[in-house]
Structure 1
Amino acid sequence: MKKGRNLLVVVLGIALVVLLMVGNARGWWSFSPAGAPPTAPAANGTLAPEGDAASGEIGEITASEDPAVPADAGEAWVDYVHDGDTLFLTDGRKVRLLGIDTPEVGEHAECYGDVARERLRTLLPAGTHVRTVADVQPLDRYGRSLLFLFTDDGALVNLGLIRDGYAEAVVLEPNVLWADRLEAAEDTAQTASLGMWGAC
């Protein structure tokens, strides 16, 4: 009888340790002390305090280096994010972000795909107002709107995803607007091993 209880205690202890490890890895709970800064995805796909440069953390995208929002930019609201480079707008349009490609998710998942999707979901939660800019070719062969998206503070989402290592630059003619900026941002992210460039 005593052996049975001891075995039960050992099994429960192991189960608890596994649950804590899995839950922590998936972000189910946080063990940060009270008053600690919020967390954000780090360059290696783990969580790190925002603003902690030593951790390799990737900060919020900003408009400081981004092109100005064109005067004729459209406006829309985000419905939901499908993956790191595809989302739906409340007007029913399915959008493929121009000039970028992120790793795949789902059945053909690739390294950093889930992290890139979560990053875009963080940047553009449902209901977010965005400014939209098309290039020469407005739709792809699947009928998706090909767009650049700006946040209300003027940050170009497409460029920010590349700059922080969540996406690579993919410029396909005739859509070459801001191609130099996109490609330069990728070079910088690769050199610094940011995001997927350091994790995959």
Structure 2
Amino acid sequence: MALGVRPPAAAAQSSQCTVAYVVDGDTINCREGEKVRLLLIDAPDHGPFGELARRALAALLPVGSSFRLELGERVHDGEGRLLAYVFRDDGRMVNEMMIRQGYAFLKPSAVNQRYAELLREAESVARGRQIGIWAE
């Protein structure tokens, strides 16, 4: 299935990518040429937490590793990046891991809601544990 074509509403559109470069804590460049923005998360872009978030994402998805993209209901952002839930080969969702480990915030969306409750719970755990961006 081509990435630019919308699937039926009940089906989640997915694809495989290989990490070429981790841009920041919520953006990955793929060897296949795509730029991917992790859905429903927002990691700091600058300062010490920005670098920590980038390193955390790079540790979860090292250069050369493959991952599965599950595209959101809205497929691209204003910068042309794919909006996706990212799953490692072990089945774990990277979006959730980044929030649960305190490297990113939940970024609610009116359109992309598939895993919103799971990610809300992950943020609640990180806040409760006061880790990463939630540390005092």
TM-score interval for Structure 1 and Structure 2 normalised by the shorter chain: 0.7 to 0.9
Q: Which amino acid aligns with 1:147?
A: A
Q: For the Cα contact (< 8 Å) 2:13–2:71, is it kept in 1?
A: no
- State the 4+ residue runs in structure 1 displaced beyond 2 angstroms: 70-73
Stretches of structure 1 that go unaligned for 5 or more consecutive residues are 1-69
Alignment-derived partner of residue 26 in structure 2: 85
Question: In the comparison of the two structures, how many residue pairs are matched?
Answer: 126
Verify the 8 A CA contact 1:111 1:196 in the aligned structure 2.
no
Q: 2:98 aligns with which of 161, 166, 169?
A: 161
Report the equivalent of 2:8: none
Pair 1:74-2:24 in alignment: no
The separation in 2 between residues aligned to 1:137 and 1:192, in whole angstroms, is 32
- The structure that has the greater radius of gyration is 1
**What RMSD over aligned residues (CA atoms) do the two structures have, in Å?**
1.6
TM-score where L is the length of structure 1: 0.60
Distance 1:127 1:71 in 2: 25
Shift in Å, 1:110: 3.5
Is the alpha carbon distance of 1:92 and 1:83 closer, same or farther for their aligned partners in structure 2, counting shifts above 3 Å?
A: same
Partner of 1:138: helix, strand, or coil?
A: strand
Alignment of 1:36-185 (within 5 A): 73-104=14-45, 109-185=46-122
Task: Report the counterpart of residue 126 of structure 2 in structure 1.
Answer: 189
- The structure with more strand, counted as a fraction of residues: 2
Q: Distance in 2 between matches of 1:87 and 1:138?
A: 15
Partners of 1:85 and 1:71 in 2: CA distance: 21
